[in-house]
Chains A and B, each alone.
Chain A
Amino acid sequence: MTPEIGHFALALALALALIQSILPILGAARNDVVWMKSAVWTSVAQTVFVGIAFAALMTAFVTSDFTVLNVIENSHSLKPLLFKISGTWGSHEGSLLLWVLILAVFGALVALLGNNIAEGTKARTLSVQAWISVGFLSFMLFTSNPFDRVFPPPLDGQDLNPLLQDVGLAMHPPLLYLGYVGFSIVFSFAVAALIEGRVDAAWARWVRPWALAAWVFLTAGIALGSWWAYYELGWGGWWFWDPVENVSFMPWLMGTALLHSAIVTEKRGAFKSWTILLAILTFSLSLLGTFIVRSGLLTSVHAFAVDPERGFYILGLLAVSIGGSFALYAWRAPSMEGGGLFKPVSREAGLLVNNLILATATGIVLFGTLYPLFYEALNDGQKLSVGPPFFNAGFIPVILPLVFMMGLGPFLSWKRANVGTVAARLKWVAVLSVGFGLVLWYLVRGGPILGYLSLMLAAWLLFATLREWALRIRLFEESFRVTMRRARNLPRASWGMTIAHGGLAIAIFGFVGSSVWKSEQILFVSPGTEISIAGFDVTFTGAEQIRGPNYVAERGTLSVRRNGEDLGFLYPERRYYPVADSSTTESSIRSTVAGDLYASLAQPASENVEGANVWTLRILYEPLVMLIWIGSSLLVLGGTISLTDRRLRVGAPRRTAASQPAPLPIAGE
């Protein structure tokens, strides 16, 4: 019965979305307030019904209802409860339902919290949001119904892919989707503005909190996915330039550009059509990600089961949404420019350069991701793959100047910056970071010049960010009390910027340190084998069989010493999941800020090796890798703090009007 309720709720949600896609926008055109206001209750009711459908599917998973095909294919009665719940979004159908749920939630949030948004803009935005809902709800109902039943039901399920049975990955898709789909509301705002033919500072102020919230979720989602790959896949890397990683990274790059471009639109009334284009592009790239993961177009470890019919349907959705919005853009955008003159050295120019670099970097990633497809189409089915060497060679040199600009940008004033003042303020930052680079080069040999250069730029960014913060609070210039008061009164948005920029600098230390100065050994070990790596003395003492709830595992024991001092043990596992008939590696990591000692175990790859007690061990030392996770957390923290800035609270009264009733909070608070 529950699955039928879910199915029915989805159909009702589609009906509501259809109403919402027509009535409010017509109301906006006819200036009919009742029609415009209808978007509020349709979007809330839509969320309720999609929520019911989602709860119905989750119930089927938690109670192991093996009459539902989706549950059979992705669950098992012995699976731990957490993974039964996360199994809800582990499949194509379930994850699509989550997608639609988040889409509806964002619509409802705008409907409920956007009280200060002009009625016409709000109505149009919610109608556009409903167009997306109609597309995806009908896609679900017609090609990917998660509630399909099976008769007779089997005794037990086929289990969720064991690689996905992991806490990190249970949380990864919801966060990533909150980011991807969060940008839908920005897209809807942009399309609504194009339809209305008007973009102003108020529009940018309405859009920015939503873009920022989506960006925070996307950042957290990508970081969590990367962390999962690092400790679960057992390869010791945190980024592989896999197509599916790339399609999550591209909206992030564009979304970052959008955040910065929207500031210019808000403060200076410039970059209007560019901000609109970025809003459309960011969500288009999110849709592209959805399409690539679900169509089987490219080979990837992440791809869902392939079904050409679904591929055609999503491509149709893409053609309508992306093609339609770009066509609208081509028609309307040229009449939208103007306002905000600025000199070549100014905050605006700095942000423009930032945007151009981010757009170029996105273009490179897009080209590298799709190049295998282009090549195959133009060369009569011949294949090639594009791997990390292309992306490292193309992406890194483009993105490094951005790191330099990030340090410089906050020192530039709007409209026209004084070169002399900026240079004077950054003098010691430059000296310090060059000095840091030289000392590093002297102390740590054996890296490529690009490695030292990257770390020097990361130091530049970190020092410049701290310098800018110190300037703002007049650190050491005034008494401690004054400094503290200034720090307290600093707008949340500028705290957010300082933390996020500093976080990126810290993450870059991790990116560079762990890729350039990594040591790795892959070797056969038997009990008693001693390995020395990066100053550690590691001894393999043996492996034993252990049993988990729905797997059996072989667990190796490694004792770790350095300079004769005992540092404890590593226990890498190789798990076998009998129901799904597949194996996973559980690497064991000794983490410190200085670096991670990482071990993962595999069975002997070659049948020639005699004797059962020989194992393939992969052992790595990756310096500074923890800084990636610390830096990413700071990015998320910075974004969240910035989100709580009064300026971004939709229509918050001015700071002086503190006695007025508290404004409605927005997402993220």
Chain B
Amino acid sequence: MRWLAFAPLLIAAVIGGFFLWGLDPDRDPNAIPSVLISQPAPAFDLEAVAGLDMPGLERADLVGNEGPVIVNVFASWCVPCRAEHAVLTSLVEQEGQTLFGINYKDKPEDAVRWLNELGNSYARIGSDLSGRAGIEWGISGVPETFIVAPDGTVLYRYVGPVVGDDAVQTFRAALRDAEDWQPEAGT
């Protein structure tokens, strides 16, 4: 009985320890790790957006670039994408990043109108009318943004619009890490 009386205290202490660990400010309980991270980018082959003077996008385009590339999944019907567009444009124009687009489940004429209105800083855009490439990339919504290494390895995934100071800083940090990234020997 004497020792049993300590059981609640011990159990509470153990649970408390887990709580303390769980409060780590760097831990985001909503973050869903992508199974794609550190894996080769999925195979896909997308046609150009009809009516847009810009080539389509396929798996091979992601490989052999000078630095890491940004792959952004967007659509004209997606309101947050509109806000994110300015951030991505500044990454391209001011920092010289390479930006590829996957135009997700979007009518080509809507996409063309949207890009004409907001400007187009994408190097290539593939039209994913069926959403098939979206499934290959495992996206949970639009927008999502990936960073891919020159050898085609997916390094980073950002779910939701890269908008606001925190998001942009997080994304920039991921880009810097990607620039320093070296493929492991033997892979």
Interface residues of A (CB under 8 A from B): 273, 277, 280-281, 284, 291, 295-299, 308, 311-312, 315, 318-319, 322-323, 326-327, 329-331, 333-334, 337, 370, 373-374, 376-377, 381-383, 606-608
CB–CB A326/B16 < 8 A = no
Cβ of B22 and Cβ of A277 under 8 Å apart? no
| Cβ-based interface call for B12 (8 A) | yes
The answer for the CA separation of A299 and B31 in the assembled complex, in Å, is 10
- Whether, in the assembled complex, B51 has its beta carbon less than 8 Å from a beta carbon of chain A, the answer is no
* Chain A: minimal CB distance from B110 (Å): 10
B8 touches A299 (CB 8 A): no
Chain B positions within 8 Å of A, measured between CB atoms, are: 1-2, 5-6, 8-9, 12-13, 15-16, 18-25, 27, 29-30, 32-33, 75, 77, 105-106
* Cβ-defined contact, A329 with B9, below 8 A: yes
Given A315-B19, A374-B18, A383-B33; A330-B6 close (CB under 8 Å): yes
Contact in complex: A373, B22 (CB < 8 Å): yes
Q: Are B1 and A329 in contact (CB under 8 A)?
A: no
Contact of B30 among A299, A374, A377, A607 (CB under 8 A): A299
**What residues on B are CB-neighbors of A297 within 8 Å?**
19, 22-23, 29
B16→A315 contact, CB < 8 A: yes
The chain B residue sitting closest to A280, CB to CB, is: B8
Give the distance to chain B from A394, nearest Cβ to Cβ, in Å: 18
A334 interface neighbour in B2, B13, B20, Cβ under 8 Å: B2
- Check if A373 sits within 8 Å of B18, measured CB to CB: yes
Apart from A330-B8, A330-B9, list 6 A-B contacts with CB within 8 A.
Answer: A299-B29, A326-B8, A327-B9, A329-B5, A337-B1, A607-B75
Inter-chain contact A333/B5, CB cutoff 8 Å: yes
Task: Report yes or no: B23 in contact with A312, Cβ–Cβ below 8 A.
Answer: yes
Closest 3 CB pairs of A and B: A326-B9, A308-B25, A330-B5
Name 27 interchain pairs, CB-CB below 8 A, sorted by A: A273-B5, A280-B8, A291-B19, A297-B19, A297-B22, A298-B29, A299-B29, A308-B24, A308-B25, A315-B19, A322-B12, A323-B12, A323-B13, A326-B8, A326-B9, A326-B12, A329-B5, A329-B8, A331-B5, A370-B15, A370-B18, A376-B22, A377-B22, A381-B33, A606-B105, A607-B75, A607-B77
Contact status of A315 and B33, CB under 8 A, knowing A326-B8, A377-B18, A608-B105: no
Question: Which of chain B's residues has its CB closest to A378's CB?
Answer: B18
* Contacting pair A315 B8 (CB below 8 A): no
CB of A586, distance to nearest CB on chain B (Å)? 23
Could you tell me the distance between the alpha carbons of A331 and B1 in the complex, rounded to whole angstroms? 11
B12 touches A284 (CB 8 A): yes
Q: Which A residue's beta carbon lies closest to that of B129?
A: A608
Q: How far is the CA of A311 from the CA of B18 in the complex (A)?
A: 13
Chain A residues lying within 8 Å of B105, measured Cβ to Cβ, are 606-608
Q: Which residues of A contact B25 (CB under 8 A)?
A: 308
Residues of B close to A606: CB separation below 8 A: 105
Residues of A with C-beta under 8 A to B19: 291, 295, 297, 315, 318, 373
Q: Are A296 and B29 in contact (CB under 8 A)?
A: yes
Q: Is the CB of A318 within 8 A of B16?
A: yes
Inter-chain CA distance A606–B24, complex, in Å, is 38
Instruction: Write out the residue numbers on chain B whose beta carbons fall within 8 Å of the beta carbon of A291.
Output: 19
Q: How many Å lie between the Cα of A295 and that of B12 in the bound state?
A: 17
Q: Which residues of A contact B15 (CB under 8 A)?
A: 370
